[in-house]
Chains A and B, each alone.
Chain A
Amino acid sequence: MFDLDQAIKKWRKSLYKNESLEDGYVAELESHLRDAIEMHIEQGRTPEAAFIQAVESIGTPEAIGSEYFKTDARSPLAMPPPQTTRWFAPALGWNYLKIAARRFRRQKVYSLINISGLAVGMTCCILMFLWVQHEWSFDRFHENGEDIYRIINRIETSEHISLNARTPTPLGPYLEKTYPEVIRTVRFQGFDGWRVKSEGKTFHNDNLGTADPGFFQMFSFPFIQGDPKTALEDRYSIVITESMAKKYFGEADPMGKVVTLGHDYTVTGVIEDVPSNSHLHFDCIFPIINMSVYWHEDFESWRRVRFYTYVQLRKNSSPGEFDRKIAGAVRENMPQARSTVFLQPLKDVHLRSRFEWDLDNYAQGNLNDVVVFALMAVGILLLACINFMNLATARAAGRSREVGMRKVAGALRLDLIKQFFGESLLMAALALFFALLMTEALLPGFNALTGKSLDLDPAANQGLLLGLLTVTLATGLLAGSYPALLLSSFQPVKVLKGTLSVRRSTEAFLRRILVVVQFGGTVILLFLTLLIYRQLHFIQNKDLGFDKNHILTFHNYHDDPEVIRNTFLPIPGVERLTLSQPPGRLLGVPDIVWEGKDPGQDLLLYPVNVDYDYLDTFRMEMAQGRFFSREFPTDAAQAVVVNQSAVRAMGLESPLSTRLTYRDRQAIIIGVVKDFHHSSLHNPIEPMVFWGPEESPYTCVRISPQNVPLTLKALEGAWKALIKDYPWEYEFLDKRIDDFYRTDYKTAQILRYFTILAVFIAGIGLFGLSAYTTEQRTKEIGIRKILGASASGIVLMLSQESSRWVLISCVLAWPVGYLLARSWLQGYAYRIALGWEIFLMSTALALGVAILTVSYQSLKAALSDPVDALRYE
């Protein structure tokens, strides 16, 4: 329905768009229009037709406007009449570019600070993006990925809950048999260091995998040769990767060739190399049933917990319901078991696994790290954006004249906003260019740090391309937002008259707030870095309760312990030797029973296999009683030693002579070892029970600190004479212990880089800002000097201001830093106290950086000749 009043209103609006038409003119024209419409209606037209006719006869707003303009303009040469069609002005675009380029040229330092800051921030973001993207992509390439779950084993005692990534061996087949929603289950295990022979060559550094025959039907590893459905059907078949095929057989066709792993296996399939974003990592897969030979595995026993079980569900089944149904699966088969099982989605395996006995032949991810590092990267970029905003607003006074001129020449606020956003986007684009160069240069180092092989290829990586665009746009808009909105709001009259000082104070206040935020973030990073390094220092220097230096460990490949002792012990430089388990991860068992044990108490105790020389080799100390001794023949079978933690956990008043039963063995406690740290300081000292001499897979040798290379050579010679099939491989115990903290070291290193960047960005930001304020106060400084101010007094005056704000940001950063530090330290059972010195040190560092950057400018100003200062401009 035609609404005459609405139509007239709209028409009036169209007139208002023309800037030549003032209110009075429009009112008069409207009155005319209404008269005309009335007349047309009287002549019998419809309101709509009348309106159209009347509007037509009045003429276009431009035509009328330009007539009025001719009347109003003082001189015909003054200016062309404004046009309403101005949505595209290419000439203006050139002008914007020219102005931007001119500013870059004239203000080299500021442009450099801005662009380098943004580029550094963006580089962080790009690197982190690549990293997060890779972490996130783990195990998402499997076709059936959505339906595959890993089964996790939850063992609960009254004292302790442990989540174990391995499940009882018969669980998989049992689930497959019992529940119709299961398509198939697959058990998997991976290991390395085995000797593999083929065509006369021997290798021992391949990742071997063993799995049920359905493995390649469940997981999508593309086959180059062979059939995924049947490749593992034969007991002695093996599927190898492309690069393993190359390594073993060169260019020859690997199909049907033989690989020897104790038994001969025939190659029945070749797959593409396992991608780096797979948590299943292997160079070959052979049927798991062969483990009955290698590990004497009993495939019927629910007590055996050595494999990882994966289950693939039917598409329409409910995983939640299945999860509830299978919880008691272990107890259904072994009523005394304390374990329940649950599902873990395949795509969570990489990032959300915090389980014991997880696969360790690949680097497990950690969701926390991913989130924290991604946030940090964005934070660094934010710091750089703050620099941009700060410097842009600080320079605003200088640009206000340009704004005034543009406005006088007819620019609307929107035009100016567009111009300034355009400028910041241009900056962001330039920064992106440098960031890409920097990323390319830093990527090898970053890969070494993170242990990944990421590459920068936006053409092939659409996510990255999108990410780059987003980062550039976001940076440009964020960094440009405040200047664009502020500068465009200037009133030309005030600007050109030079009376803009009203806004100065609020603006300066905002700048200070931004500096506080910036330095606050930097202080938090500094604080955390210091804290982590102190904690790592603490770990390295903590008395572990034994001497970890000059001990080397290697695998036993000889059956007779006496032969090993007799071979290595006589070597000069070898002080002690024990065939025992070296410090490292332990597996707790719930079924050790002692005299006076409360039947309701479930306690996980950690058995450790040791021989007579264990205590002396590691230089541990006894708290009570004695250690195993060859002088007591009964020790071999009927004695155990416990540690102090075990005594406390078992609640024994006088531990000596207490009887202990573990499965089919009975023994009495003959001694108590002083507590020592068997595993990492992340965990409390486990209650341990040391069992007398038994076959141990490890040999540990204490060597003299003198002539280490010579001793090592002699050991190697002895090894080669004794064991011909295996290469000589050993590990120093202190390195093995350092490896407990590998991820901590990595975190510390990454954090250190972030901190350096943050300090750099905050520093250059403050540098730019202080350069500006000093420049603003040139005259004041000149006058002060003439009136007798000393150079040091001026430096103090100029530094005071920024130091005050940095101090405030430190105080604000403390509580946040404290909370973060506390939650990080909670990951360690043994940790440093959160002392004041870390707070003070981080503050001092931040303040030092601030004063250094500011004082350069202040000093320059203070030492300059006041005459030059007063002649300024």
Chain B
Amino acid sequence: MISKALIAASTKPMILSILIGGENYGYQIIQKVKQISGGKLEWSDGMLYPVLHRLEKDGLIQAQWRISVEGRRRKYYRITERGRAELEADMKEWMYVHQALSKVWKPISV
């Protein structure tokens, strides 16, 4: 299991990365996260939405209510230019950390 603090830290880049691949809504985002991490990143579903709200408030993503094909109201999120820049910066930070850790660690199988 991944620690809470690490999950919290990784949430923002994770969401932004998913949204790079095109606009999406909450439920799908969570499904994607589960899929990517092979179930190792376990979020409480409800926790995603406050984070999305925060990102929207910070201007990293944009949201829009739309009626889906099945006739359900859904809030779709799209990444903004500022979001892309933020993600790039994040990626750099994460990669530094990753490289630094890789140097001191012997490879283990995950």
Contact = CB atoms under 8 A, between A and B. Distances in A.
B57 interface: yes
Interface in B20-72: 25-27, 30, 44-47, 49-51, 53-54, 57, 72
A70 B46 contact: no
B44 A32 contact: no
Contacts of B54: 71
B77 to A, nearest CB: 10
Contact of B27 (A25, A31, A64): A31
A29 interface: yes
B73 interface: yes
A35 interface: yes
Interface of A is mostly: helix
Interface string A46-76: 0000000010011110011001101100000
A63 B44 contact: yes
Given A28-B26, A31-B72, A31-B75, A70 B50 contact: yes
Nearest to A22: B53
Interface in A290-330: none
Contacts of A29: 46, 49
Given A27-B73, A31-B73, A31-B74, A36 B50 contact: no
A34 interface: yes
Interface string A713-757: 000000000000000000000000000000000000000000000
Contact of B49 (A34, A60, A64): A64
Nearest to B25: A31
Contact of B47 (A28, A34, A63): A63
A58 B49 CA distance: 10
A40 to B, nearest CB: 12
Interface in B59-110: 72-75
B46 A63 contact: yes
Contacts of B46: 29, 32, 58-60, 63-64
B53 A32 contact: no
Contact of B53 (A25, A34, A58): A25
Q: Which of B46, B47, B51, B53: most chain A CB closer than 10 A? A: B46
Given A58-B45, A59-B44, A59-B45, A34 B57 contact: no
A64 B74 contact: no
Given A32-B26, A57-B45, A58-B44, A68 B50 contact: yes
Of A25, A35, A59, A60, the most chain B CB neighbours within 10 A belong to A35
B57 A71 contact: yes
A348 to B, nearest CB: 72
Contacts of B44: 57-59, 63
Contact of A64 (B26, B50, B73): B50
B50 to A, nearest CB: 4
Given A35-B27, A71-B54, A71-B57, A64 B75 contact: no
Interface string A17-44: 0000000110111011011100000000
Contacts of A28: 26, 49, 75
A60 B44 CA distance: 10
A64 B73 CA distance: 20
B59 to A, nearest CB: 13
Nearest to B72: A31
A842 to B, nearest CB: 72
Contact of A68 (B53, B72, B75): B53
B63 to A, nearest CB: 9
Contacts of A59: 44-47
Nearest to A20: B50
B38 to A, nearest CB: 17
B48 to A, nearest CB: 8
Nearest to B52: A28
A517 B49 CA distance: 60
Contacts of B30: 32
Contacts of A60: 46
A754 to B, nearest CB: 67
A59 B47 CA distance: 8
A31 B67 CA distance: 11
Contacts of A25: 49, 53
Contact of B72 (A24, A34, A36, A70): A34
A32 B47 contact: no
Contacts of B47: 59, 63-64, 67
A58 B47 CA distance: 7
A428 to B, nearest CB: 48
Nearest to A61: B46
A370 B73 CA distance: 71
A34 B70 CA distance: 12
B49 A32 contact: yes
A71 B51 CA distance: 8
A24 B74 CA distance: 11
A24 B47 CA distance: 15
A25 B53 CA distance: 9
Contacts of B75: 24, 27-28, 31
B102 to A, nearest CB: 33
A36 B51 CA distance: 19
Contacts of B49: 25, 28-29, 32, 64, 68
Interface in A593-623: none
A71 B53 contact: yes
A35 B45 CA distance: 12
Contacts of B27: 31-32, 35-36
Contacts of B51: 67
21 contacts: A24-B75, A28-B26, A28-B49, A31-B25, A31-B26, A31-B73, A32-B26, A32-B45, A35-B27, A36-B27, A36-B45, A54-B45, A59-B45, A60-B46, A63-B46, A67-B47, A68-B50, A68-B53, A71-B50, A71-B53, A71-B57
Given A31-B72, A31-B73, A64-B49, 12 more contacts: A25-B49, A31-B74, A31-B75, A32-B46, A54-B45, A58-B44, A58-B46, A59-B45, A60-B46, A63-B46, A68-B53, A70-B50
Interface of B: 25-27, 30, 44-47, 49-51, 53-54, 57, 72-75
Interface of A: 24-25, 27-29, 31-32, 34-36, 54, 57-60, 63-64, 67-68, 70-71
